[in-house]
Amino acid sequence: MTVSELVTKLGLNVLSDETGLERQITGGYTSDLLSDVMGHANAGKIWITLQTHKNVMAIASLKELAAVVLVKGYQPEADMLAQSNIEEIPVLGTAEEAFEISGQIYKLLND
Amino acid sequence: MTTEKMHFEYPVEGGNFSAAGFPSSQVKKTLKQLNVDGNVIKRTVVALYEAEVNIVAHAFKGVIAVDIDTEKIHIRLTDEGPGIPDIKKAMEIGYSTATPEVREMGFGAGMGLSNMKTNADSLVITSEVGKGTIVEIINYFHK
Ligand SMILES: Nc1ncnc2c1ncn2[C@@H]1O[C@H](COP(=O)(O)OP(=O)(O)OP(=O)(O)O)[C@@H](O)[C@H]1O
Ligand SMILES: [Mg+2]
Protein backbone atom coordinates (compact mmCIF):
# COMPACT_ATOMS: atom_id res chain seq x y z
CA MET A 1 0.00 0.00 0.00
CA THR A 2 1.25 3.51 -0.73
CA VAL A 3 1.24 6.34 1.81
CA SER A 4 -1.30 8.10 -0.35
CA GLU A 5 -3.70 5.12 -0.25
CA LEU A 6 -3.37 4.93 3.52
CA VAL A 7 -4.09 8.66 3.83
CA THR A 8 -7.29 8.24 1.82
CA LYS A 9 -8.47 5.08 3.59
CA LEU A 10 -7.95 6.42 7.13
CA GLY A 11 -8.60 10.11 6.46
CA LEU A 12 -5.18 11.14 7.75
CA ASN A 13 -4.03 14.75 7.47
CA VAL A 14 -0.99 15.40 5.30
CA LEU A 15 0.94 17.94 7.37
CA SER A 16 4.01 18.17 5.12
CA ASP A 17 4.19 19.03 1.41
CA GLU A 18 2.57 16.50 -0.86
CA THR A 19 5.86 14.77 -1.70
CA GLY A 20 6.80 11.18 -0.98
CA LEU A 21 3.16 10.08 -0.89
CA GLU A 22 3.90 7.38 -3.47
CA ARG A 23 6.23 5.58 -1.04
CA GLN A 24 5.33 1.94 -0.35
CA ILE A 25 4.46 0.95 3.22
CA THR A 26 5.77 -2.48 4.24
CA GLY A 27 4.69 -2.39 7.88
CA GLY A 28 4.52 -0.14 10.91
CA TYR A 29 6.42 0.66 14.08
CA THR A 30 4.91 2.41 17.09
CA SER A 31 7.35 3.98 19.57
CA ASP A 32 8.31 7.29 21.15
CA LEU A 33 11.85 6.15 21.97
CA LEU A 34 14.22 7.18 19.21
CA SER A 35 16.88 4.53 19.84
CA ASP A 36 14.18 1.88 19.83
CA VAL A 37 13.13 2.97 16.35
CA MET A 38 16.77 3.28 15.27
CA GLY A 39 17.43 -0.27 16.40
CA HIS A 40 14.25 -2.03 15.32
CA ALA A 41 12.28 -0.26 12.58
CA ASN A 42 13.09 -1.46 9.06
CA ALA A 43 12.99 0.34 5.73
CA GLY A 44 9.49 1.01 4.40
CA LYS A 45 7.79 1.10 7.78
CA ILE A 46 5.39 3.82 8.85
CA TRP A 47 6.35 5.29 12.24
CA ILE A 48 3.57 6.14 14.70
CA THR A 49 4.73 8.54 17.43
CA LEU A 50 4.03 11.67 19.46
CA GLN A 51 7.56 13.05 18.99
CA THR A 52 7.41 16.25 16.96
CA HIS A 53 11.02 17.41 16.53
CA LYS A 54 13.56 17.34 13.71
CA ASN A 55 15.47 14.27 14.93
CA VAL A 56 12.42 12.19 14.03
CA MET A 57 13.05 13.04 10.37
CA ALA A 58 16.79 12.36 10.66
CA ILE A 59 15.96 8.86 11.87
CA ALA A 60 13.16 8.37 9.34
CA SER A 61 15.59 9.30 6.58
CA LEU A 62 18.51 7.18 7.81
CA LYS A 63 16.18 4.18 8.23
CA GLU A 64 14.35 4.91 4.94
CA LEU A 65 10.94 4.82 6.62
CA ALA A 66 7.84 5.39 4.48
CA ALA A 67 6.20 8.13 6.58
CA VAL A 68 5.63 9.43 10.10
CA VAL A 69 2.20 9.61 11.75
CA LEU A 70 1.76 12.06 14.63
CA VAL A 71 -0.96 10.97 17.02
CA LYS A 72 -3.51 12.84 19.17
CA GLY A 73 -3.45 15.93 16.97
CA TYR A 74 0.19 16.70 17.78
CA GLN A 75 1.71 19.23 15.36
CA PRO A 76 5.25 18.98 13.99
CA GLU A 77 7.76 21.66 14.94
CA ALA A 78 8.75 23.92 12.06
CA ASP A 79 12.18 22.33 11.58
CA MET A 80 10.66 18.85 11.57
CA LEU A 81 8.33 19.91 8.76
CA ALA A 82 11.15 21.54 6.80
CA GLN A 83 13.25 18.39 7.12
CA SER A 84 10.30 16.23 6.08
CA ASN A 85 10.01 18.20 2.87
CA ILE A 86 13.75 17.98 2.18
CA GLU A 87 13.78 14.21 2.75
CA GLU A 88 10.46 13.77 0.93
CA ILE A 89 9.19 11.61 3.77
CA PRO A 90 5.63 12.69 4.58
CA VAL A 91 4.47 13.70 8.05
CA LEU A 92 0.85 12.73 8.60
CA GLY A 93 -1.50 13.61 11.42
CA THR A 94 -4.44 11.99 13.19
CA ALA A 95 -6.63 12.87 16.16
CA GLU A 96 -6.52 9.20 17.27
CA GLU A 97 -4.28 7.78 19.97
CA ALA A 98 -1.34 5.52 19.09
CA PHE A 99 -3.18 2.31 20.02
CA GLU A 100 -6.17 3.04 17.81
CA ILE A 101 -4.31 4.28 14.75
CA SER A 102 -1.74 1.48 14.97
CA GLY A 103 -4.56 -1.05 15.05
CA GLN A 104 -6.25 0.49 12.04
CA ILE A 105 -3.03 0.60 10.04
CA TYR A 106 -2.19 -2.98 11.06
CA LYS A 107 -5.60 -4.17 9.90
CA LEU A 108 -5.31 -2.42 6.53
CA LEU A 109 -1.82 -3.78 5.90
CA ASN A 110 -2.67 -7.33 6.91
CA ASP A 111 -6.13 -7.87 5.44
CA MET B 1 34.68 0.55 -5.59
CA THR B 2 37.26 3.25 -5.14
CA THR B 3 40.97 2.55 -5.04
CA GLU B 4 41.63 5.67 -3.02
CA LYS B 5 41.38 6.19 0.66
CA MET B 6 38.88 8.75 1.86
CA HIS B 7 38.94 10.79 5.03
CA PHE B 8 36.21 13.03 6.44
CA GLU B 9 35.88 14.96 9.68
CA TYR B 10 32.78 16.41 11.31
CA PRO B 11 32.64 18.54 14.45
CA VAL B 12 29.91 17.74 16.99
CA GLU B 13 28.48 20.28 19.41
CA GLY B 14 27.14 19.09 22.76
CA GLY B 15 23.47 19.94 23.27
CA ASN B 16 22.83 20.76 19.62
CA PHE B 17 20.26 18.12 18.69
CA SER B 18 19.02 19.88 15.59
CA ALA B 19 22.32 19.27 13.78
CA ALA B 20 22.43 15.58 14.72
CA GLY B 21 22.32 13.15 11.83
CA PHE B 22 24.25 15.18 9.28
CA PRO B 23 27.47 13.09 9.47
CA SER B 24 25.43 9.88 9.20
CA SER B 25 23.57 11.06 6.14
CA GLN B 26 26.83 12.19 4.48
CA VAL B 27 28.46 8.84 5.21
CA LYS B 28 25.38 7.07 3.86
CA LYS B 29 25.60 9.03 0.60
CA THR B 30 29.31 8.32 0.22
CA LEU B 31 28.93 4.59 0.87
CA LYS B 32 26.05 4.44 -1.62
CA GLN B 33 28.20 6.11 -4.26
CA LEU B 34 30.89 3.50 -3.57
CA ASN B 35 28.29 0.75 -4.11
CA VAL B 36 28.82 -0.68 -0.65
CA ASP B 37 26.34 -3.43 0.31
CA GLY B 38 23.04 -1.95 1.52
CA ASN B 39 23.04 -3.92 4.74
CA VAL B 40 26.52 -2.66 5.65
CA ILE B 41 25.37 0.91 4.97
CA LYS B 42 22.32 0.46 7.21
CA ARG B 43 24.38 -0.98 10.05
CA THR B 44 26.97 1.76 9.74
CA VAL B 45 24.51 4.66 9.87
CA VAL B 46 22.75 3.23 12.93
CA ALA B 47 26.03 2.83 14.82
CA LEU B 48 27.30 6.25 13.75
CA TYR B 49 24.06 8.07 14.52
CA GLU B 50 23.87 6.59 18.02
CA ALA B 51 27.50 7.45 18.72
CA GLU B 52 27.02 11.00 17.46
CA VAL B 53 23.87 11.55 19.52
CA ASN B 54 25.71 10.29 22.59
CA ILE B 55 28.19 13.14 22.19
CA VAL B 56 25.32 15.61 21.72
CA ALA B 57 23.39 14.25 24.73
CA HIS B 58 26.19 13.44 27.15
CA ALA B 59 29.37 15.36 26.24
CA PHE B 60 30.45 18.95 25.57
CA LYS B 61 31.92 18.64 22.11
CA GLY B 62 33.63 16.18 19.85
CA VAL B 63 35.00 15.25 16.46
CA ILE B 64 34.00 12.42 14.17
CA ALA B 65 36.80 11.12 11.93
CA VAL B 66 35.75 8.78 9.14
CA ASP B 67 38.22 6.72 7.12
CA ILE B 68 37.10 4.63 4.19
CA ASP B 69 39.28 2.27 2.18
CA THR B 70 38.46 -0.61 -0.15
CA GLU B 71 37.67 -3.06 2.62
CA LYS B 72 36.20 -1.12 5.51
CA ILE B 73 34.91 2.02 7.13
CA HIS B 74 36.62 3.11 10.31
CA ILE B 75 34.91 5.76 12.44
CA ARG B 76 36.48 7.36 15.46
CA LEU B 77 34.44 9.67 17.67
CA THR B 78 36.50 11.61 20.18
CA ASP B 79 34.75 13.81 22.70
CA GLU B 80 35.48 16.13 25.56
CA GLY B 81 32.98 15.35 28.26
CA PRO B 82 32.29 13.64 31.57
CA GLY B 83 33.50 10.24 30.37
CA ILE B 84 31.88 6.92 31.25
CA PRO B 85 32.77 5.59 34.74
CA ASP B 86 31.49 2.04 34.12
CA ILE B 87 31.38 1.10 30.44
CA LYS B 88 29.98 -2.37 31.10
CA LYS B 89 27.06 -0.88 32.99
CA ALA B 90 26.54 1.80 30.34
CA MET B 91 26.22 -0.95 27.71
CA GLU B 92 23.21 -2.45 29.52
CA ILE B 93 19.89 -1.81 27.81
CA GLY B 94 17.91 0.66 29.90
CA TYR B 95 20.85 2.30 31.66
CA SER B 96 20.86 6.03 31.01
CA THR B 97 21.98 9.22 32.69
CA ALA B 98 20.13 11.41 30.18
CA THR B 99 18.53 14.56 31.59
CA PRO B 100 14.73 14.95 31.78
CA GLU B 101 14.85 17.39 28.82
CA VAL B 102 16.71 14.86 26.68
CA ARG B 103 14.29 12.07 27.71
CA GLU B 104 11.34 14.22 26.78
CA MET B 105 12.65 14.21 23.21
CA GLY B 106 12.57 10.42 23.23
CA PHE B 107 16.28 9.96 23.78
CA GLY B 108 17.58 8.34 26.96
CA ALA B 109 16.10 4.87 26.57
CA GLY B 110 19.53 3.45 27.27
CA MET B 111 19.54 1.58 23.97
CA GLY B 112 22.09 3.49 21.93
CA LEU B 113 25.21 1.58 22.96
CA SER B 114 23.38 -1.70 22.47
CA ASN B 115 22.40 -0.59 18.95
CA MET B 116 26.02 0.32 18.29
CA LYS B 117 27.20 -3.10 19.44
CA THR B 118 24.66 -4.87 17.24
CA ASN B 119 25.48 -2.79 14.18
CA ALA B 120 29.28 -2.67 14.32
CA ASP B 121 31.68 -5.45 13.34
CA SER B 122 34.05 -3.97 15.89
CA LEU B 123 33.18 -1.52 18.67
CA VAL B 124 35.84 -0.28 21.05
CA ILE B 125 35.08 2.30 23.74
CA THR B 126 37.72 3.91 25.90
CA SER B 127 36.92 6.60 28.40
CA GLU B 128 38.52 8.73 31.03
CA VAL B 129 36.23 10.17 33.70
CA GLY B 130 36.31 13.96 33.70
CA LYS B 131 38.06 14.07 30.35
CA GLY B 132 36.18 12.32 27.59
CA THR B 133 35.38 9.27 25.56
CA ILE B 134 36.68 7.67 22.37
CA VAL B 135 34.39 5.38 20.41
CA GLU B 136 35.80 3.38 17.51
CA ILE B 137 33.54 1.61 15.06
CA ILE B 138 34.72 -0.59 12.20
CA ASN B 139 32.49 -2.18 9.59
CA TYR B 140 33.86 -4.39 6.81
CA PHE B 141 32.39 -4.24 3.31
CA HIS B 142 32.86 -7.95 2.59
CA LYS B 143 32.36 -10.62 5.19
N1 LIG C 1 30.06 9.96 24.81
C2 LIG C 1 29.60 9.77 26.06
N3 LIG C 1 30.05 10.56 27.08
C4 LIG C 1 29.60 10.36 28.34
N5 LIG C 1 28.72 9.42 28.69
C6 LIG C 1 28.25 8.60 27.73
C7 LIG C 1 28.66 8.75 26.37
N8 LIG C 1 28.04 7.79 25.65
C9 LIG C 1 27.28 7.09 26.52
N10 LIG C 1 27.40 7.57 27.76
C11 LIG C 1 26.76 7.04 28.99
O12 LIG C 1 26.24 5.74 28.73
C13 LIG C 1 24.82 5.74 28.96
C14 LIG C 1 24.15 4.78 28.03
O15 LIG C 1 24.29 5.23 26.67
P16 LIG C 1 23.22 4.76 25.58
O17 LIG C 1 23.55 5.39 24.30
O18 LIG C 1 23.12 3.27 25.61
O19 LIG C 1 21.83 5.30 26.15
P20 LIG C 1 21.33 6.83 26.22
O21 LIG C 1 22.17 7.68 25.35
O22 LIG C 1 21.24 7.22 27.63
O23 LIG C 1 19.87 6.67 25.62
P24 LIG C 1 19.50 6.36 24.08
O25 LIG C 1 20.78 6.12 23.37
O26 LIG C 1 18.63 5.16 24.14
O27 LIG C 1 18.79 7.57 23.59
C28 LIG C 1 24.41 7.19 28.83
O29 LIG C 1 23.19 7.49 29.47
C30 LIG C 1 25.60 7.91 29.46
O31 LIG C 1 25.53 7.81 30.87
MG1 LIG D 1 22.55 7.08 23.38
pLDDT tens profile A23-80: 999 999 999 999 999 999 999 999 999 999 999 999 999 999 999 999 999 999 999 9
CATH code of the domain containing A48: 3.40.1390.20
H-run or E-run covering B95: none
* pLDDT, tens only, B25-65: 999 999 999 999 999 999 999 999 999 999 999 999 999 99
Interface test with B, best of A32, A38, A56, A86 (most B CBs within 10 A): A38
Q: How remote is the CA of residue A53 from the centroid of ligand 2, in Å?
A: 17
Looking at beta carbons, which residues of chain B come within 8 Å of A32?
A: 106
Domain count, chain A: 1
Considering the entire predicted model, what is its pTM?
A: 0.97
Closest of A56, A44, A63, A45 to residue A16, by C-alpha: A56
Q: How remote is the CA of residue A13 from the centroid of ligand 2, in Å?
A: 32
ipTM at complex level: 0.95
Closest ligand 1 atom to Cα of B110: 19
Structural domain of residue A32, as residue ranges?
3-110
pLDDT at B2 over 60: no
Domain B6-140 has CATH 3.30.565.10: yes
Confidence band (pLDDT; 50, 70, 90) for B143?
confident
What number of C-beta contacts closer than 8 Å exist between A and B? 66
Q: Is A79 on the interface with B (CB under 8 A)?
A: yes
> Domain boundaries in chain B?
6-140
pLDDT at B1 over 70: no
Q: How is B12-72 classified by DSSP, letter by letter?
A: EETT-GGGTTHHHHHHHHHHHHTT--HHHHHHHHHHHHHHHHHHHHH-SEEEEEEEE-SSE
* pLDDT, tens only, B104-142: 999 999 999 999 999 999 999 999 999 999 999 999 999
Confidence band (pLDDT; 50, 70, 90) for B4?
confident
